[in-house]
């Protein structure tokens, strides 16, 4: 059992996962921010490895990715930065990014490096499910890595059940078809979407992301899922003040 499965076994609700971009705001901040987030009460971390064409990301995360890339961040450097991860951080850690850098690095090399530094899983939104199942599922299993699939309001029930069967961690419920950074708006359509997922009795836990930016939207999301993921709102905080006190103040809102 990896750390992701252990988390959902130990804590069934109100799980808080925080996303931030590796190498932002400064190149050597990656591990420091992880440490501060765990101290401040995060249950799980998603560290973004930046890419030049982040199609699912809104302007805030796009800007953080560009700054990180301009500073020299790449996967080789990220894995070097994370070599001491498990001497400093105990909670589950995932890497989130796009398939192109992963393919350039080599999928097996990528998974092996994740296992060596103690990363528990990956979220690669543009990795097609059929390609994962045919070419990469065995590699992920070899290194005990969870691959997290995304579900949107447009995803068919047939595909959701297929995702559920392939999932070994949790299912990422995208709150809307928008990019990251949009505020969560619970319309009747959104309400029906979350209710439809809940009624499917999936075997895996679920986390809601995209548009979770304060205690109110976090609490709303937790009514429908095991927890929620906050990204843009936290990246905004780092852009203004990356101090430990600033991180603690942000996290205190969700306590």
Q: How many whole angstroms separate alpha carbon 196 and alpha carbon 206?
A: 13
60 to each of 23, 52, 75, 233, how far by Cα in Å? Answer: 15, 14, 21, 9
Residue among 26, 209, 31 at smallest CA distance from 118: 31
Q: Which phi and psi (to 5°) does residue 122 adopt?
A: -140, 150
pLDDT at 240 over 90: yes
pLDDT tens profile 137-178 = 999 999 999 999 999 999 999 999 999 999 999 999 998 754
pLDDT band per the 50, 70, 90 thresholds, residue 195: confident
Which of 36, 43, 46, 120 does the annotation list as catalytic?
Answer: 46
Question: What architecture does CATH give domain 14-252?
Answer: Alpha-Beta Barrel (3.20)
Residue 56, SS3 per DSSP:
coil
Is 57 annotated in the active site? Answer: yes
Integer Cα distance of 102 and 123 in angstroms: 11
> What does the H/E/C string look like for 114-142?
HHHHCCCEEECCCCCHHHHHHHHHHHHHH
- Which of 61, 97, 94 lies closest to 237, judged by CA? 61
Active-site entry in 57, 108, 126, 141: 57
State how far the Cα of 28 lies from the Cα of 81, in Å rounded to an integer: 8
Sheet order of strands, 171-174 included: 146-148, 121-123, 93-96, 44-48, 15-21, 227-230, 206-209, 171-174, 150-151
Determine the angle formed by the axes of helices 59-71 and 232-240, rounding to 10 degrees: 50
**Are residues 213 and 233 in contact, defined by beta-carbon separation less than 8 angstroms?**
yes
pLDDT at 188: 64
Strand 44-48 to strand 121-123: parallel, antiparallel, or no bridges (unpaired)? unpaired
**What is the pLDDT, as a whole number, of residue 179?**
44
Helix crossing, 232-240 with 244-252: angle to 10°? 150
The CA distance from 17 to 210, in Å, is 12
Q: Kindly report, residue by residue over 25-48, the tens digit of the pLDDT.
A: 999 999 999 999 999 999 999 999
- For residue 208, give Cα distances in angstroms to 15, 143, 189: 10, 26, 15
CA nearest to 232, candidates 208, 250, 212, 255: 212
Give the pLDDT score at 54: 65
């Amino acid at each position: 059992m990896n750390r992701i499965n252990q988390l959902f076994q130990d804590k069934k609700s109100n799980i808080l996962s925080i996303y931030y971009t590796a190498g932002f705001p400064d190149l050597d901040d990656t591990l420091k921010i992880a440490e501060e987030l765990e101290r401040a009460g995060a249950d799980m971390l998603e560290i973004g490895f930046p890419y030049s064409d982040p199609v699912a990301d809104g302007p805030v995360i796009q800007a953080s990715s560009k700054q990180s890339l301009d500073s020299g961040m790449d996967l080789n450097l990220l894995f070097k930065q994370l070599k001491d991860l498990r001497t400093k951080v105990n909670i589950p850690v995932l890497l989130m990014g796009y398939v192109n850098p992963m393919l350039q690095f080599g999928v097996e090399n990528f998974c092996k490096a994740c296992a060596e530094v103690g990363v528990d899983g990956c979220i690669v939104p543009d990795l097609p499910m059929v390609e994962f199942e045919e070419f990469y599922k065995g590699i992920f299993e070899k290194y005990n890595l969870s691959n997290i699939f995304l579900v949107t309001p447009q995803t068919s029930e047939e595909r959701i059940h297929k995702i559920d069967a392939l999932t070994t961690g949790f299912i990422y419920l995208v709150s809307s078809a928008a990019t990251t950074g949009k505020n969560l708006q619970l319309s009747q359509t959104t309400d029906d979407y979350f209710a439809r997922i809940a009624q499917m009795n999936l075997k895996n836990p679920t986390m809601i992301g995209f548009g979770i930016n304060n205690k109110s939207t976090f609490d709303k999301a937790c009514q429908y899922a095991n927890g929620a993921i906050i990204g843009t709102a936290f990246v905004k905080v780092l852009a203004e003040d990356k101090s430990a006190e600033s991180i603690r103040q942000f996290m205190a809102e969700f306590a």
